[in-house]
Amino acid sequence: MKRGVLPSLNHVLLATLVIVTIVLVASYMLRPGEVELRVSTTTSLYNTGLLDYLADEFSRENPRIYVEFIAVGTGEALKRAERGDACLTLVHAPSLEKSYKEKGVLGEGRIIAYNYFIIAGPPNDPAKVRDAPSAAEAFRRIAEAGYQGKAIFVSRGDNSGTHIKELSLWRLAGVVPQGEWYRESGQGMAQTLVIASELGAYTLSDIGTYLKLKAEERLPGIVELYHNSSELLNIYSAYPVTSCSGEEARAAQDFLEFLWERQDLIGSYGLEEYGQPLFYPAEDKLEWLEEEWNRLARG
């Protein structure tokens, strides 16, 4: 008789497991009338927490729309848009954006925010970046120190908006970076900053991700060395994806309009925690930003 007990219990346990699994899966499924909006986005917007904050506010006003973010580098975010994996994309590489607009992948978008890139590096600053008259000169000094074995630079190397900006600065500096001093992480901004900190290396970062990780005490080996140059302007734009249709396309447009109408949320994010906003709203400087976007788009 006892031999029959175990199979019976196993059947009960298996049935229970199946039921629990079905309940868990069902809990993650959208309810009737709800829409999932897939948004591909640069990691710098997502890692700072801004997008979750904005999505929470958006959901209060639009409870039937569930926003799912795909956080990757700008190059990959645009590829995801082209493949139809997202119906809205948030990116910060004007030259790349321009090419995808010309291919018809992206619809009419908006500049939604801006901030600045910074050059971070070791506190002793062997390349003397702090005293550089320009970002391009700072990069030239880093390369010179690198070839002398005095400095390391960590690049994202991932075709992200930050990586594209970095490559443009090397071109302005007249440098082709190569050799042991030049490392590519192939990672997002947060991971690249952590690697630079561990190596005591220089890197280019958006100010938002840097401030967040610095406040979390995750970057003991590096400090901000150079910032707020006109060369280091960082413009964020949002675009609907033309291949999308139906409810998700309408949801994408709704979220895009929300990002513009609630510029106050973007401008206040991080102010209390970090003593300065991580991003600046675009509405007050839109004409200037559009001119700068066009300049950057021309490369």
Tokens of 195: 């690697």
Tally Cβ neighbours within 10 Å of residue 297.
16
- What gap in Å lies between CA 165 and CA 209, rounded to an integer? 16
Angle, CA 63 vertex, CA 105 and CA 83 arms, to 5°? 20
Q: How far apart are CA 91 and CA 88, in angstroms?
A: 10
233-255: string of b/e by CB count within 10 Å (b at 16+)?
A: bbbbbbbbbbebeebbbbbbbbb
pLDDT at 96: 96
Percent of the chain clearing pLDDT 90 (strictly above): 85
**What pLDDT score does 244 carry?**
97
pLDDT at 32: 61
Q: Sketch out the chain's domains with CATH numbers.
A: 35-115+233-297 (3.40.190.10), 116-232 (3.40.190.10)
The helix/strand/coil state of 67 is strand
Number of Cβ atoms within 10 Å of the Cβ of 200 = 16
Query: In the chain, which residues have pLDDT < 50?
Result: 1-28
CB 283 within 8 A of CB 261: no
pTM of the predicted structure, to 2 decimals? 0.86
